[in-house]
Amino acid sequence: MAIICDKQSAPHRNHQDIRYGWVAMFCLGDFTEGNLVLPQLGLTIEYRPGTLIHLHSYWLQHYISKFQGKRIGMVNFTHSQDITFLKNKLVQESSDVKLETLVKLDKAVEVAAKEQLWYPEVKPKVEQAKPLLGF
């Protein structure tokens, strides 16, 4: 988790995150503006205090626009290195777990995420986004 206080972000993608994982972003404070901008989709999303947004931050370039006031952002993410650490730990602790099994698990997670088997209600409504996101 990252806690970001009074900081505007530049356009970026989070390439350390899991490729098909979700990021949960939540903001608090007393501010105006400070919207979430998704330039690839041509979208600006109102991002008021108390708003929770799920996003594929690995694929979608995003940033927070200028704002006035006090703003706190909380971002929950899973970096790919965290998954690598867990896989290595599993292999070390269990002689029964084979690396092949973990690779198959990775593939299953990617397929499930691509096909929106998790959180189907969050599937993008913007049709032109489908090729970009790989859904």
Main-chain phi, psi angles of 130, to 5 degrees: -55, -50
Six-digit token string for 107: 């593939």
Residues 90, 32 share a domain? no
Over pLDDT 70: what percentage of the chain? 59
Residue spans of alpha helices (H) in the chain? 80-93, 99-114, 129-133
Task: Verify that 60 and 87 share a domain, yes or no.
Answer: no
Residues 56 and 9 in one domain: yes
Q: For residue 5, which phi and psi values (nearest 5 degrees)?
A: -105, 125
Please indicate, yes or no, whether the overall pTM of this predicted structure exceeds 0.85.
Answer: no
User: Range of 103's domain?
Assistant: 80-128
28 in any annotated domain:
yes
Give me the percent of the chain exceeding a pLDDT of 90. Answer: 36
Asked whether residue 133 is domain-assigned, the answer is: no
pLDDT in tens, 36-74: 999 999 999 999 999 999 898 888 999 999 999 999 999
Same domain as 54, residue 24: yes
Does one domain contain both 22 and 67?
yes
Question: Helix 99-114 to helix 80-93 angle, to the nearest 10 degrees?
Answer: 150
Residue that has been written with the tokens 């099994």 in this structure: 101
Output the six-digit token pair for 77. Answer: 């993410």
Same domain, 20 and 71: yes
66 three-class SS: coil
Number of domains in the chain: 2
